[in-house]
Amino acid sequence: MHDPPLDYDTFGKRFMDQYCAGCHSTQWPENHGNRNDSPLTVNFDTYAGVVEWAERAYIRTYETGDMPPGGGPTDQDLVRFNEWMQCEVFPDAGVEL
């Protein structure tokens, strides 16, 4: 565990911007090529979006590893992602995995 704990400002925003928001962003309208067919309602450019889709983002990024499709996070970033999700995001989202 990190001390202080990882949060959106110290880890999550950078992670989501680097690996997720390139396609999952409110900045990309439906017909914008950057969405790469990602659903319009699944966006990770805000913490609220991360909380809303926490379980799905965790499963697809950490458990199955099929996101992002063009290459994923480093092993070290995945460990941090898991910690951040477990310690901050899941409690905020009311998710228990």
* Distance of alpha carbon 42 from alpha carbon 21, whole angstroms: 10
Domain membership flag for residue 2: no
Q: Is residue 3 part of a domain?
A: no
Angle at alpha carbon of residue 72, lines to 68 and 74, rounded to 5°:
155
**Is residue 66 a part of any domain in this protein?**
yes
Q: Nearest CA to 19 among 83, 67, 90, 84?
A: 67
pTM: 0.90
How many other CB atoms are there within 10 angstroms of residue 36's CB atom? 13
In-domain check, residue 68 = yes
Domain that holds residue 50: 8-93
In a domain, 1, yes or no: no
Residue 60 resides in a domain: yes
Total tally of structural domains belonging to the chain:
1
Per-residue pLDDT tens listing for the chain (97 residues):
778 889 999 999 999 999 999 989 998 877 777 888 888 899 999 999 999 999 999 999 999 999 998 788 999 999 999 999 999 999 999 998 7
pLDDT of residue 36: 84
pLDDT computed for residue 43 by the predictor: 94
